Amino acid sequence: MGFINVKKKEVQIKIVYYGPGRGGKTTNLDYINKKYKQRIKTEMVSIKTHGDRTLFFDFLPVDIGKIHGFDIKIQLYTVPGQVKYNATRKLVLKGVDGIVFVADLQKERRDSNLKSLEQMKENLLSHNKDAFKIPLVLQYNKIDLQNQGIPLLTVEEMEQDLNQELRVPYFVGSALAGDNVVETLKKIISMTLISFRKELQ
C-alpha cells in the first residue's frame, strides 16, 4: 500500500521497472523523464547499493485527481544494467505498489526473461507480496529490432513464456523509440491507483 504523508497531504506510490539486464528498463525511465520534464519534481537520482546502481525520480501526474483530498506522487524506480547482486533487486522491491516487467523480445534473451521473472516472484515473496496480486504490466521491448533482421520472439511466444499464468496486461513496444512507453506507464498507474483505493475502503 502506498505511503501516506499526512503533513504534505500526499500519497506516495512506488512503481518499479523490473526485468533482465539491458532489457530497456532505464531507457523507459529516460524517455519518461525527458517527455514529462515539467511534471518531474526531482532530478533522476542514482544511488549505489552493494556496488549496483538504483535509479529513481518523483513524477507528479497532473490528470489523475486526488485520493481523499491527497495529492498523488508517483515514484519510479529501476535497477539499471547488469546487476551483480540479487540483494539490490530485492531491496528495490521493498514497499512496491506496482511493477512494470520489461522483457526483451530478442530470441537470445529468452532465458534471461524467464529467470528474471522467476526471481522477481521470489523477491516479492520475501516482502510478503504476491506477483499474482500486485498490480503488474508486462512490456515486450525492442520491437524496433525487427527492422534490423535480429531474430525476435513472437508475441505468442512471449505470452506463453511469461503471461500464461499471470494473465496481466501487456504492451509491445520500443523504449528507445518511445513506442508504448507512456501507455505502459498510464496502465500501471491506473491499476495501482485502483488497487490502492480498494485497500483504503
What pLDDT score does 53 carry?
A: 75
Give residue-wise pLDDT tens across range 19-70: 999 899 989 998 998 888 777 766 777 777 666 677 777 776 656 778 878 8
Which of 111, 109, 157, 159 has the alpha carbon at shortest distance from 138?
Answer: 159
Confidence label for 150 from pLDDT (cuts 50, 70 and 90)? very high
C-alpha distances (whole Å) from 101 to each of 70, 121, 122 are: 28, 11, 14
pLDDT digits (tens, 9 = 90+) for 161-190: 999 999 999 999 999 999 999 999 999 999
> Span 110-120, mean pLDDT?
97
DSSP 8-state assignment for residue 1:
-
DSSP calls for 48-80: EETTEEEEEEEE--SSS--BTTBEEEEEEEE--
d(CA 154, CA 107): 9
Q: How far apart are CA 132 and CA 130, in angstroms?
A: 5
What are the E-state strand segments in the chain?
3-5, 10-18, 45-49, 52-59, 71-78, 98-104, 136-141, 170-173
13: pLDDT confidence band, cut at 50, 70 and 90? Answer: very high
Of the listed ranges 45-54, 96-105, 110-119, the least confidently predicted one is: 45-54
Q: Which residue has the cell 508517483?
A: 74
Give just the sign of the alpha carbon dihedral 91, 126, 171, 104: positive
Cβ atoms of 53 and 79 within 8 Å: the answer is: yes
State the CATH number of the domain containing residue 10.
Answer: 3.40.50.300
Kindly tell me if the per-residue pLDDT of 11 is higher than 70: yes
pLDDT at 1: 64
Q: Is residue 136 scored above 90 in pLDDT?
A: yes
Interstrand relation of 170-173 and 136-141 (parallel, antiparallel or unpaired): parallel
* Coil vs helix vs strand at 171: strand
Q: What integer pLDDT is reported at residue 41 of this predicted model? A: 67
Q: Which of 88-92, 122-126, 156-160 has the lowest mean pLDDT?
A: 88-92
Task: Write down the pLDDT at residue 165.
Answer: 97
Asked if 18 and 102 touch (Cβ cutoff 8 Å), the reply is yes
Task: Look at residue 89 in the predicted model and tell me its pLDDT.
Answer: 87
**Cα–Cα distance measured from residue 195 to residue 185, given in angstroms and rounded to the nearest whole number:** 15
Q: Is 45 exposed, middle or buried (0-12, 13-18, 19+ CB in 10 A)?
A: exposed
| pTM of this structure | 0.92
pLDDT higher at 30 or 97: 97
More confident residue, 200 or 19: 19
As for how many domains the chain has, the answer is 1
Q: Containing domain of residue 184, as a range?
A: 3-200
76-95 pLDDT tens trace: 998 876 777 788 889 889 99
